[in-house]
Each structure stands twice: as structure tokens, then as C-alpha cells.
Amino acid sequence: MLVLVTGANGFVGKALLARCIADPSLRLRGSTRAPVSEILAGVEPMLVGELASDTDWTEALKGVSVVVHTAARVHVMHDVSFDRLREFRRVNVAGTLKLAGQAAAAGVRRFVFISSIKVNGERTEPGRPFTPDDPPAPVGPYGRSKQEAEEALRKLGLDTGMEIVIIRPVLVYGPGVKANFLAMMRWLHRGIPLPFGAIHNRRSLVALDNLTDLVRTCLRHPAAANQTFLVSDDDDVSTEALLHRVAMAMGTEARLIPVPVSVLRAAMRLFGKAEVAERLCASLQVDIERTRQLLGWAPPVSLDEGLRRTARWFSARDD
């Protein structure tokens, strides 16, 4: 079975290819938007350019049975786009639909779309984790673009018969992680005191190894067809507890100051960090029962083991 993975040099795409490479029943093709210096041995490279409404996927789709679409426009630091939603739609909606439409026309059997929990929303109330059936409530342009892409894909699936599988990960961490999670590890490594010792929220996370294991399951599993799945490590933690567990994995201690959440939120708002404060202080939990029941799947890697693997990568970095 030939599988096309878009975003082959990205955080999720690269890890997925590495996980699948040992499966002799799979042939792997990885697409990128720009030339890359190297790609995994055994993966057929395919340069397709930017993900957009005019991208030609003809060559990349030849002989493909399953597409796993990991490429996307994600959060852009210091984004200066005049219309951020328009830019997210251009890539995440129009670009995705172009790929999926050509995939259906080429006879691709299944399209696995890596979406985002932001389709559900940004926060949950105590005892009410998100489920796949909750009404979508995206807040920012990224989440809205992912929701619109999901809706367009479902309609395309109904019109063409191509199976659509949607996976909404929570925060993904693991070797190669960037952005806020990497910054957090750097703070802990340097022993910087952090004002997060009084945050007792509950948040779901997912190890990169768990996400890629679920995606691999969804390549073939008959019950995955036309379903939406949430995924996590199934071990929800507070921001305070997460910092302690990351520090333990790194062989250090978290120096946390118990600043009241109301004070922390107000201070971060003053510095233009209201969105960061929300992610640090609010709860966001998911219920993965459908994923367990329909697929017989459970996270193969615990939260602590996932953190240890991430810590080993962090220690081995040369930057």
C-alpha cells in the first residue's frame, strides 16, 4: 500500500514516516513544499511546492491508496498578515481541498486529515472534556480554518466516496518540539524561577509517539472510515504538575512561585500575552473513549515516558 504523507519534513510528518518505515507492507512517499537536504531512507521524496488552491498533486498522487495530510499553516510568530483568517483559509482550507479533490479523482481510498482540538474550542469546564460530537467552537483563525477544512472534506467524501478520517490532537510534544513547550524546557534547564506554582487546571497533552501510532492505526482500520477522533495521553495534568514532571524527566527541579492566577492573568495581559495566559491557566481536556472503543486503541506511551524521550532529545541538541 502506497501512503503519501504531506509535510514530510515537519514535526508530525517526519515522525510518522519514521514510525511507518519498518512496516514492509507500506510504501512511503513524502511531499515537501521546498527542497530538503535529506529525507528518510526508504521514503520517496516529492517536491510539490506551497500548499495552495493551484498546487498540482498529479505526480505525488500516482498509485497512492492513502493520503495523510499533516501540512498546514500553523501559528505564525509575529504574524503581520493584513487578514490572518484569509491566509489561514488560503492554505488550510483551499489548499487542503485542492489536494483532497485531486486525491479522490486519482482513486485514493482514504484521506487522513490532521486537524486540531482548536476546532472544539480553547477551554473546557471542570468535568466536561471535549468529545468529537461537541458543536465546534473555534476562537482564532487557525481553529476556524481547520473547522472549515473538516466540513469541506466531509462533503467531498460524501460526493466522491473517498473515506475521510479526521484526527484532532491536543498539544503535541516530543523530540523536535518547538514554540512554548521548548521555551518551557529551556526555562527549567536554566533554573529560572517561574510564577506558575498556583495553577491547578487540567490539560490534556499527546506524545508525538502516541499521535503517530494512532495515525498508523487509521491507515487501514475499517472502523476509522468517516470518523472524527480525539487523541491524548489520557493522563491530564495541571500546568504546575506538568512543569514538575518535565523537570523530573530532565533531571532537574522546577522552581515555581505560587502567584495567584488572577494576578498572573492580569500581568500577562499587560504585556500582550493574554493568549499565552489562557493556555497556561485554563483547562482543556478531551475524552478519547470513541478512539478507544472504535479502534481498540490505547496510548502506547505514558506521559512520563513521552517526557523522558523529549528530555533525551533536548539534552542531545547541538543548538
* Given 11, 142, 187, 229, the catalytic residue: 142
Give the type of residue at 41. A
Instruction: Give dist(CA 309, CA 313) in Å, integer.
Output: 6
Q: Could you tell me which residues come within 8 angstroms of residue 5 by beta carbon, excluding any fewer than 6 positions away?
A: 13, 16, 17, 28, 29, 30, 31, 68, 70
The residue length of the chain stands at: 319
3-state SS of 39-72?
CCCCEEEEECCCCCCCCCCHHHHCCCCEEEECCC
3-state secondary structure 163-221: EEEEEEECEEECCCCCHHHHHHHHHHHHCCCECCCCCCCCECEEEHHHHHHHHHHHCCC
| CB-based contact 68:219 (threshold 8 Å) | yes
Give yes or no for a contact between 91 and 51, defined as CB atoms under 8 angstroms apart: yes
- The Cα–Cα gap between 56 and 58 comes to 6
Residue 173 is a catalytic residue: no
Strands annotated E in the chain: 2-6, 27-32, 43-47, 66-69, 110-114, 163-169, 171-173, 205-207, 228-231
Tell me the backbone φ, ψ of residue 82, rounded to 5 degrees. -65, -40
3 state DSSP class of 283? coil
Give strand pairing partners of 4. Answer: 29, 67
Comparing CA positions, the residue from 133, 74, 72 lying closest to residue 286 is 133
Q: Which residues are annotated as catalytic?
A: 142
